[in-house]
Amino acid sequence: MIGPFLCRFLESLEILRSYKKGPIILPTNVQCTHFNRRCRIVVAEGPTPAYNPQLMSDGWKNILLIKPSSLGDIVMALPALSALRRSFPAARLTWLVRPAFAPLIEGHPHLDEIVHFDRKTLGKAWYHPGAMKALVGLIADLRRRRFDAALDLQGLLRTASLAWLSGCPHRFGPVWGREFAHHFYTTTVPRRIEWVHVIDYYMKLVEAMGGRDLSVEFVMPRKPDAVASTAALLAQNDLTPLGYAVLIPGSAQVSKCWPAERFAALADRLASDHGLAVVAIGSQAERVMVEQVQTHAACRIVNLAGETSLPQLVEVLRSARLVVANDTGPGHIAAALGRPLVMMFSWSNPLRVGPYRRPECVVGRDIEARGMAVRSTDRAHAIDYITPDEVYTRAAEQLGL
């Protein structure tokens, strides 16, 4: 049952009554007893359609792709964008994304437009009039665009409900949608071990939309300004393309962070054994973590945490000889760029979110036994059980040595 808070939110949206596109359709498997008479809510008849690619249209003209965050998740959604463009070349493709991550997809050749989803502001809509006005404005903007298909790859209540509130009649999303998100989709796809990786699952959703060319392609265009400014930044720090290794010691979740002293030991071996300069990157908040790595290391480590824009970060990774990372967004960018990579996994399942079809890049415990689980609760899978020798051996393999 939809809670009273969501119902009151829907009641407050004047936009739901101002548009003359007919009533908002509520799926039959979502029940609500809290709406008052001001809302025009109609319960659709019949069950949510089952997955059947043959029933889907191949003539979409205006598609909304919803994937606001996080950085690594957006990277893994890029193949879905390219598959949509190949499958529906005449369609207009719009991506709903958080402003912080928009620079990653700005100028993408397969994308027509970006709509910002300012979660920080919109999350205050329940109690802040300005935030409510912004939310109503976003919904109005989405409804004006008259999307005929929406693909929600986030699978949360806030994104699924936005797809529904946009007025889009055909809404595709993951069957695992959390917070009852799946109730707002018209089509979902079952989970199967054959497509345990989220990229393969995203492709099945594109297939459900009628997509035909489902080959996986990562397109990350080079931006001239970022290329030039990154070249200057590297030169300023005496770094040459393909002459340095990048360490990514941070993560949004502490449980994913390999200890700083082990990153330091690895840096020393990469510098002494292979003659590589060492760079560490991350957000401004992770700068202190990089400083900890520097403290434990004997070699010089260039600290670029917080020093690059997102497009510059891409170029730093594109020119790297090797990248060693926790399971975090910049590591997934390196994977998408095809760079030699070592990525360490703890509780998150690398079969599901690891570098796509690059098992040689992964270090972790019991990888092949993880199945379809999203996360592990096995203490033996903790990040601190990964040894420096394991990571160094995999790094040497990636260097071709």
The one-letter code for the residue type at 151 is L
pLDDT in tens, 67-77: 999 999 999 99
Q: Is the pLDDT of residue 22 over 60?
A: no
Mean pLDDT, the chain, whole residue set = 86
Domain covering 4-208 assigned CATH 3.30.70.890 in the classification: no
Give the three-class secondary structure for 174.
strand
Provide the whole-model pTM.
0.85
pLDDT of residue 134: 79
| Interacting residues of 12 by C-beta distance below 8 A, sequence separation 6+ | 132
Q: Is the pLDDT of residue 5 over 50?
A: no
Q: Is the pLDDT of residue 384 over 70?
A: yes
pLDDT of residue 255: 93
pLDDT of residue 394: 98
Cα 52 from Cα 361, distance rounded (Å): 35
| Interacting residues of 1 by C-beta distance below 8 A, sequence separation 6+ | 30, 31, 32, 33
pLDDT in tens, 264-301: 999 999 999 999 999 999 999 999 999 999 999 999 99
pLDDT of residue 59: 80
pLDDT in tens, 148-180: 999 999 999 999 999 999 999 999 999 877 778
The one-letter code for the residue type at 67 is K
Q: Is the pLDDT of residue 130 over 80?
A: no
Measured in degrees and rounded to the nearest 5, phi and psi for residue 394 equal: -70, -35
Give the three-class secondary structure for 124.
coil
Give start-end residues of each CATH 3.40.50.2000 domain in the chain.
4-208, 224-398
Q: Is the pLDDT of residue 383 over 90?
A: yes
> To which H or E segment does residue 6 belong?
helix 4-12
pLDDT in tens, 93-106: 999 999 999 999 99
More confident residue, 373 or 124: 373
pLDDT in tens, 173-184: 998 777 789 899
Strand (E) positions, 57-97?
62-66, 92-97
Give the three-class secondary structure for 163.
helix
More confident residue, 158 or 47: 158
More confident residue, 26 or 189: 189
CATH class of 224-398: alpha beta
pLDDT of residue 340: 98
% of the chain residues with pLDDT over 90: 78
pLDDT of residue 126: 62
Give the three-class secondary structure for 45.
coil
Q: Is the pLDDT of residue 242 over 50?
A: yes
Give the pairing type, strands 341-344 and 92-97: unpaired
Which residue pairs, CB below 8 angstroms and at least 24 apart, start in 36-44? 36/11, 38/11, 39/10, 39/11, 40/16, 41/10
What confidence tier does 211 reach under pLDDT thresholds 50, 70, 90? very high
pLDDT of residue 121: 66
Report the Cα–Cα distance between both ends of the chain, in Å, rounded.
Answer: 58
pLDDT of residue 41: 25
Positive or negative: CA dihedral 156, 158, 159, 163: positive
For the packed helices 329-337 and 310-318, what is the interaxial angle rounded to 10 degrees?
50
Give the three-class secondary structure for 198.
helix
**What count of other Cβ atoms lies within 10 Å of the Cβ of residue 238?**
11
Do the Cβ atoms of 337 and 331 come closer than 8 Å? no
Cα 183 from Cα 290, distance rounded (Å): 43
Q: Is the pLDDT of residue 28 over 80?
A: no
Q: Is the pLDDT of residue 122 over 60?
A: yes
Q: Is the pLDDT of residue 39 over 60?
A: no
